[in-house]
Structure 1
Amino acid sequence: MTEALPSTPEWSEKKLDDLVEFLDGQRRPMKSSDREKMNGIYPYYGATGVIDYVDGYIFDEELVLLGEDGENILSRNLPQAFVIRGKTWVNNHAHVMRPKNCVDAKFLAFALERLDFAKFNTGSAQPKITKGTCKSIGVPVPPTKHEQTKVSEALSHMDNLIASLDALVAKKEAIKQGMMQELLTGKLRLPGSTGEWREVALDDACEMKSGFGITSRNISKTGRFRCYGANGIRGFTDRATHSGVFPLIGRVGAQCGNVVLVKGDFFASEHAIVATVRAGYDPAWLSLVLSRMGLNRKSEASAQPVLTVSKLKLLSLRAPPDEDEQKKIASVIFDTEEEINELQSRRDKLRSIRKAMSQQLLTGMIRLL
């Protein structure tokens, strides 16, 4: 006779009040003027995280905070539930919860963070989640703290990977900005570069013309050619107006002055200005220079901002003595931009995986035993 294997205990939904002890009575708000007088090393928490540092603390343990009020309850642009540790001060805009011995604090924060708090909102002018409402919130939990910890460790590992890529993207972005500042002004020269930079009129570097008129019915989600407007691709169409490599400048609206480099066959609408480089100038390099010129500040003041070709013709720029140096500068900067794009793509994939993991691990669909 075959002996039956023991079954795995199932997850269950428990009220938040059964999982934590509320410490809201110990919170103490402090006016900004008072915090200035008590400036210190201990984090001062509000509804969505640290808002200041003070010379004093209320708590000295691992706790879970849940934002009590504020627009973040609806928008969720910032964390709504999070763990704090060590010496801290919490104001009256966050519920303070001490997890019971059977509860992993990080797991609880993750579990709360994935909930839709809009349905728990009891405020009118100001979104709010009352303590009474919090106590009745149902949280799916595994049967053991060990499994909770396994789940929180897996999700924390993914968060750390995403954070490391965020930091790397930010570092690369800073490097790119520094390179643009140095290389596009001649302060830093690439190996082999000689000759003096010169001041030239923008009109001498390129010919600028507005694009062509097109109605919205002639723009679709599919088509042979990309159709560009003031802020990039508007859609697709069945005919092209240009072929090659061109900087496009947004001409109308909030995005006037926006610069994109376009390659291949495309349609340029009347909302874009097409810059056709003259002999001795590289279009990729010119697009980078134009992007740093603050062209949006040159727009005509009206209800609808408009950038005119006549105004652009009055501008000047500094250029390397030959097109070869321009190409090298553009190559270095665009190579760095490509590295940034690849890192962002990796990060976005990890975020998608993290979202799926959260759905499966925090509901018991996948078990970590």
Structure 2
Amino acid sequence: IVSTVGSKPPMYDSMVGKVIFVKAKYAGALLNQNAVLFKNKNNSIQIILSNIFNTKRYVEFIESIYRGNANQASITLEELFKFQIPLPPLPEQGAIAEALSDADAWIESLEQLIAKKRLIKQGAMQELLTPKEDWEVKKLGEMSIIYTGKKNNQDKIENGSYPFFVRSQTVERINSYSFDGEAILIPGEGNLGSIVHYINGKFDFHQRVYKISDFIGSNGKYLYWYFRMYFGNHAMQNTVKATVDSIRLPTLQEFKIQYPSLTEQTHIATILSDMDAELEALEGQLGKARKVKQGMMQELLTGRVRLV
């Protein structure tokens, strides 16, 4: 199915010309007036076409034929049908389709495994971080030192020597460091609660990023996971409404932490960190699988490599 309408390119944001491969179980489903169904009795050709429609050559073709204004772009079937598709002999079509389908199955299996592991980790966080009767309660300001950095975004340096924490999930680089040790870092505005960083080493940080460190009677990694679980609600309930949501130092200092013994904190942090490491490894495998599939498409769909 091809979408003939979408927002104006850049293409990575726009739905115009985007293609999805619909499995047989969805046959007969209703189509929007801006969606076009392409169907061929030869399943191999359908698989090959769905992959060709995800190549750079196809994207560049759509960029060359779309029409529209600042808000919306569209393509006509007359123009779309001018796209030329190289096809090998039938036996080779089947071999290419099989190879690409195997790659898709590999990617899909990793995606499903990652989704399952994420749910398991979420359940483990819920179980391990739910306060028990014998847990203690303290305010964050009583068990750590909190202050913001002195740097701005323009201080970042590509390939710098040290991590530089700014107000985003992306960790930049810089050639200076203002702290050396274990710390949790959160932005003071925007995406409150959804961005929490942990580090143990040398780093620098933005003037609107809070550094929480020098933990008293608490495991830093445990606090990190506790923040991941509970800080978002606290932040949004106490946010200062301005251009973007922001949080002030006193509100952060008043955040209540419920915690078990230091030994149990360490145990909880280790379990969750191990699960996180497993997820990160799987996501790395998924990234490699997608690159392998992309390489296969470049070779098989251009005729550089022949399978028959």
Query: Aligned partners of 1:269 and 1:98: how far apart in 2?
Result: 54
What residue ranges of structure 2 are gaps of 5+ in the alignment? Answer: none
Q: CA separation in 2, counterparts of 1:177 and 1:85?
A: 33
Q: Which has the higher contact order (CA 8 A, sep 6+)?
A: 2
Partner residue, 2:86 = 140
TM-score by length of 2: 0.85
The one-letter amino acid paired with 2:266 is K
Assess, with a 3 A threshold, how the Cα gap between structure 1 residues 97 and 242 changes in structure 2: closer, same or farther.
Answer: closer
Aligned-residue RMSD, C-alpha: 2.6
Identity over aligned residues, as a percent? 24
8 A contact 2:182–2:214 mirrored in 1: no
Q: Which structure has the greater CA radius of gyration?
A: 1
For residues 42 and 157 of structure 2, the distance between their equivalents in structure 1, rounded to whole angstroms, comes to: 59
The structure with the largest helix share of the pair is 2
Letter in 1 for 2:250: S
- 1:82 is displaced (CA, Å) by 2.4
SS of match in other structure, 2:86: strand
Residue 180 of structure 2 is aligned to residue 265 of structure 1: no
Q: Contact between 2:151 and 2:205, CA under 8 Å: does it hold in 1?
A: no
1:95 deviates by: 2.3
Name the CA distance, whole Å, in 1 between partners of 2:100 and 2:131.
47
Moved more, 172-181 or 311-320: 311-320
Q: CA deviation at 1:180?
A: 0.8
Specify the SS of the correspondent of 2:241.
coil
Are 1:66 and 2:11 an aligned pair? no
Contact 1:150/1:368 (8 A) holds in 2:
yes
> Which residue is equivalent to 2:49?
108
**In structure 2, what residue type is equivalent to 1:94?**
A
Question: How many angstroms does 1:84 deviate by?
Answer: 4.6
* 3-state SS of paired residue (1:97): coil
Mapped partners of 1:276, 1:177: distance in 2: 25
1: CA distance, partners of 2:290 / 2:28 = 30
Instruction: Within 5 Å, give how 1:255-294 maps onto structure 2.
Output: 255-257=191-193, 258-292=195-229, 293-294=231-232
Output one character per residue of 1:61-99: Cα deviation in whole Å (capped at 9) or x when no partner: xxxx33333349843669514245364134233223343
Question: Structure 1: which 5+ residue stretches go unaligned?
Answer: 1-64, 188-194
Task: Give TM-score, length-normalised by structure 1.
Answer: 0.72
Pairing of 1:356-367 with structure 2 (within 5 A): 356-367=295-306
Give the 3-state SS of the residue equivalent to 1:244 in structure 2. Answer: strand
Cα distance, 1:182 vs structure 2: 1.0
Q: CA deviation at 1:341?
A: 0.2
Structure 1 residue aligned with 2:142: 204
**Counterpart-to-counterpart distance in 2, 1:217 and 1:170:** 37
1:181-192 aligned at under 5 Å gives the runs 181-186=126-131
The answer for the alignment partner of 2:161 in structure 1 is 224
Q: Helix, strand or coil for the counterpart of 1:137?
A: coil
Quick one: distance in 2 between partners of 1:90 and 1:290? 45
**Cα distance in structure 1, aligned partners of 2:43 and 2:241:** 63
